Amino acid sequence: MKDTGIPKYQAVHDEILARLMAGHYSIGTRLPTEELLSGTFGVSRVTIRKALEMLVRAGYLTARQGSGYVVATLSPPSSTCMASFTDQVLNEGRIPGARLLGVENPTSTLLPAVAQLFDEPLILVQRLRTVDGMPRMFTQTWVPVRLAPKMSASDFPEAGQGQSILRIFRQGFGIDWTTACETLDSVVANTDIAAQLDIAPNTPILSQACTAFDLKQQPVFFDQVYRQGPINFDLSGGTTQQTGT
Average pLDDT score over the chain: 88
Q: What confidence score (pLDDT) does residue 235 get? A: 43
User: Mean pLDDT throughout 108-131?
Assistant: 96
Q: What confidence score (pLDDT) does residue 41 get? A: 93
**Alpha-carbon distance values, 30 to 27, 46, 168, 183, 219 (Å):** 9, 19, 24, 35, 37
> Number of structural domains, the chain?
2
Condensed to tens digits (0 to 9), the pLDDT of residues 72-107 reads 888 776 555 567 889 889 888 899 999 999 999 999
Please state the φ and ψ torsions of residue 170, each to the nearest 5 degrees: -75, -50
Residue 243, in any domain of the structure: no
For residues 57 and 84, membership in a common domain is answered with no
pLDDT band, residue 215 (cuts 50/70/90): confident
Residue type, 65: Q
User: Mean pLDDT throughout 232-245?
Assistant: 47
State the CATH number of the domain containing residue 131.
Answer: 3.40.1410.10
Full-model pTM: 0.74
Condensed to tens digits (0 to 9), the pLDDT of residues 142-160 reads 999 999 999 999 999 999 9
Q: Say which residue, 4 or 182, is predicted with more confidence.
A: 182
For residues 85 and 199, membership in a common domain is answered with yes
For residues 82 and 174, membership in a common domain is answered with yes
Strand, coil or helix: 135: strand
User: What is the distance between the alpha carbons of residues 195 and 120, in angstroms, rounded to a whole number?
Assistant: 31
Condensed to tens digits (0 to 9), the pLDDT of residues 19-61 reads 988 888 888 889 999 999 999 999 999 999 999 999 998 888 9
pLDDT band, residue 3 (cuts 50/70/90): low
Helix (H), strand (E) at residue 184: strand 179-188
For residues 56 and 155, membership in a common domain is answered with no
Helix (H), strand (E) at residue 115: helix 112-117
Q: What confidence score (pLDDT) does residue 2 get? A: 64
Structural domain including 34 reads: 8-71
For residues 181 and 106, membership in a common domain is answered with yes
For residues 169 and 91, membership in a common domain is answered with yes
Out of 71, 99, 117, pick the residue that ends a domain: 71
User: What is the distance between the alpha carbons of residues 182 and 244, in angstroms, rounded to a whole number?
Assistant: 11
